[in-house]
Structure 1
Amino acid sequence: MDQLNLRHLYYFWVISREGSIARASEVLELAPQTLSGQLATFESSVGGRLFLRERRRLILTDLGRLIRGYADDIFELTGELTDTLRLSESDRPLTLYAGVSASIHKLFAYYLLQPAMTLSRPMQLECRTGRTEDLILNLKRKELDVVLADRVPDMDTYGPFTVHPLAESSISLFAAPSIAQAVRGGFPGSLKGQALLANATDAPYFTRLMNWLSLQGVRMKLVARVEDSALIKVFGRQGFGVFAAPSVIRDEVCRQYEVEEIGKIEEVKDEMFAITRGRKLAHEGVRAICTTPADFGMFGSNIE
């Protein structure tokens, strides 16, 4: 079978759905004899019988059930496409393929993506996380529309991109309440020897944090490096150590992960950028992300 005849597949699908050639012929507005002939041709092309006759009803064979499963998926998608094409262009869902660097805190990323999700036009988000370098290559291959990153890519290595500054926030340190209460009073000196949890030691803010701690004469003990920023907060909630997160999301971090803020470090900033292939932002969702200030006030925090 070099090429599947979709019309014959559709006839088979309607027959299997209606349970008889007579009822299917009424739905398709074809003569029963014509429909029987089309079914026989399709059975010949797939190499086997698709129905067994039981009294006056057609019962699917094993081959018939296999093909019916694929046909259900095909014609469900066809129906969705037909419904979508009936919509005006402004009402059709727009797909946004976004990459988010793994080192970005997920709550921060949510606020940056939110402007695209609140447009009047329906938006379907396809979000991929990973190493910044890998996501930039995906962007170059036109597999992504935008990349959210906490660093500017090397243009000589990856090619010309447009970098759009989005937001910056000071960094705060958090821990389980028992740890936070014990070290808050003598901050930052009280952090000496404390366990430190990192979600990305190569993130720019982490390097700035380490430099700041060094200037304060504070040496912490790195006990874990977990790429998932949400998982590292779970470790922090369970008392395994101190972790850093943007101050702008501190209220939601404390609420969601049942931790407390130890202290805010104004000198250490976490910066966010949107990276696109060109200066012209044709995609509505990308344009919203790059031009609409993110609303960090939903949970009571204010951007620094």
Structure 2
Amino acid sequence: MLNYKQLYYFWNVAKAGSITRAAERLHLTPQTISGQLAELERALTTDLFRRVGRRLELTSAGKLALTHADEIFQIGYELEQSLLSGAAGGELPFRVGVADAVPKTLAYQLLAPAMALSESVRLICYEDKLERLFAELAIHQLDLVISDRPLPSELGVKGYNHALGQCAIAFYAVPELAVRYRADFPRSLRGAPFLLPGDKAAVQAPLMRWFSEHQIQPRILGKFDDSALMKAFGKAGVGIFPAPIILSDEIRDQYGAEVVGCVDEVMLSYYAISVERRLTHPAVVAVSEAAQKALFVKVDTVR
């Protein structure tokens, strides 16, 4: 009979890409996982991995095993969620990963509906780089990832992109800068001091195209992976910064920054990424429905 613990170790190694990374996630020694993998391969009478230099690659048998392992552990995850949802009086855990490019205020607005459910929900929230969050999602350590971009197909992670919606961006600045650059917008922005998201942010490329189309050469004083840090520099009057237009009230209250101008041509998209094709977790459903009804321009769900 198949040893499902050994299959789980194999699945983690395949998702992580190495025994060492899988061992770190599972809080085990690499020797333990290596030994369990060897026993699984002996039981199945076939090699599941081949070593290429310092990397492990799946054999054809390993690829077949991974396909079935994905289905097995997906069914197990759905069973767990069904039982947790039906447990009378119990707390429903809701494990969410938030990409560091998603503004904190927006993340709160997206997740708040889950906390208002009649069921008792215990939110467990993580912020990290998208690649690490996707890896945790792949092994069912997260129920949901909130991201400003869809799940890249090249990662090999089986997941589904549930579009929450879109919104335009605006440029913000402290009142003195806002008054100076608001007149004759957007031509007034030529040579203006800017604070921009980092190069990996989804908005970076369309924003630079917009500058080019309007023949604007911004004076870029800084780039930031952390949107809150970018806004903190903006609050100090260092430069103009972009953010979702739907956060204008919060940005005014928290950072003392006013809208310089709205950029309707540059839209930000947000996604709820899950391992479920059809959303079933009550908290995930609440997040998706509330976002599309109240926060954003509704867009179609995409694979």
Name the TM-score, length of structure 1 as normaliser: 0.66
- What secondary structure does 1:273 align onto? strand
Q: Are the counterparts in 1 of residues 201 and 225 from structure 2 also a CA contact under 8 Å?
A: no
Counterpart pick for 1:204 among 194, 202, 205: 202
Deviation at 1:294, TM superposition (A): 5.5
Query: Do residues 279 (structure 1) and 277 (structure 2) align?
Result: yes
Q: Are the counterparts in 1 of residues 135 and 157 from structure 2 also a CA contact under 8 Å?
A: no
Report the Cα distance in structure 2 between the residues aligned to 1:296 and 1:237, rounded to whole angstroms.
28
Deviation at 1:151, TM superposition (A): 0.9
Q: Are the counterparts in 1 of residues 169 and 267 from structure 2 also a CA contact under 8 Å?
A: yes
Q: Are the counterparts in 2 of residues 112 and 294 from structure 1 also a CA contact under 8 Å?
A: no
Q: Are the counterparts in 2 of residues 249 and 296 from structure 1 also a CA contact under 8 Å?
A: no
Letter of the structure 2 residue corresponding to residue 115 of structure 1: P
- What secondary structure does 1:134 align onto? helix
Q: Are the counterparts in 2 of residues 132 and 149 from structure 1 also a CA contact under 8 Å?
A: yes
Return closer, same or farther for 1:199/1:296 CA change in 2, 3 Å cut-off: farther
Q: Are the counterparts in 1 of residues 160 and 277 from structure 2 also a CA contact under 8 Å?
A: yes
Higher alpha-carbon deviation: 232-241 or 222-231:
222-231
Report the Cα distance in structure 2 between the residues aligned to 1:233 and 1:296, rounded to whole angstroms.
25
Q: Are the counterparts in 2 of residues 193 and 220 from structure 1 also a CA contact under 8 Å?
A: yes
Counterpart pick for 1:160 among 155, 158, 161: 158
Report the Cα distance in structure 2 between the residues aligned to 1:91 and 1:231, rounded to whole angstroms.
41
Match of 1:232 in 2: 230
Counterpart pick for 1:99 among 94, 97, 100: 97
In the TM superposition, 1:75-154 aligns within 5 A as 89-154=87-152
Query: Which structure 1 residue ranges, 5 or more long, are not aligned?
Result: 1-87
Report the Cα distance in structure 1 between the residues aligned to 2:193 and 2:89, rounded to whole angstroms.
51
Match of 1:195 in 2: 193
Identity over aligned residues, as a percent? 32
- What secondary structure does 1:96 align onto? strand
Return closer, same or farther for 1:194/1:296 CA change in 2, 3 Å cut-off: farther
Q: Name the Cα RMSD after superposition.
A: 2.0
Letter of the structure 1 residue corresponding to residue 196 of structure 2: A
Deviation at 1:165, TM superposition (A): 0.5
Report the Cα distance in structure 2 between the residues aligned to 1:105 and 1:235, rounded to whole angstroms.
15
Letter of the structure 2 residue corresponding to residue 201 of structure 1: D
Match of 2:77 in 1: none
- Which deviations, in whole Å up to 9, do the C-alpha atoms of 1:24-51 show, x marking residues without a partner? xxxxxxxxxxxxxxxxxxxxxxxxxxxx
In the TM superposition, 1:1-80 aligns within 5 A as none
Deviation at 1:303, TM superposition (A): 5.8
- What secondary structure does 1:124 align onto? strand
- What secondary structure does 2:203 align onto? helix
Return closer, same or farther for 1:219/1:288 CA change in 2, 3 Å cut-off: same
Q: Are the counterparts in 2 of residues 199 and 229 from structure 1 also a CA contact under 8 Å?
A: yes
Query: Which structure 2 residue ranges, 5 or more long, are not aligned?
Result: 1-85, 299-303
Match of 1:61 in 2: none
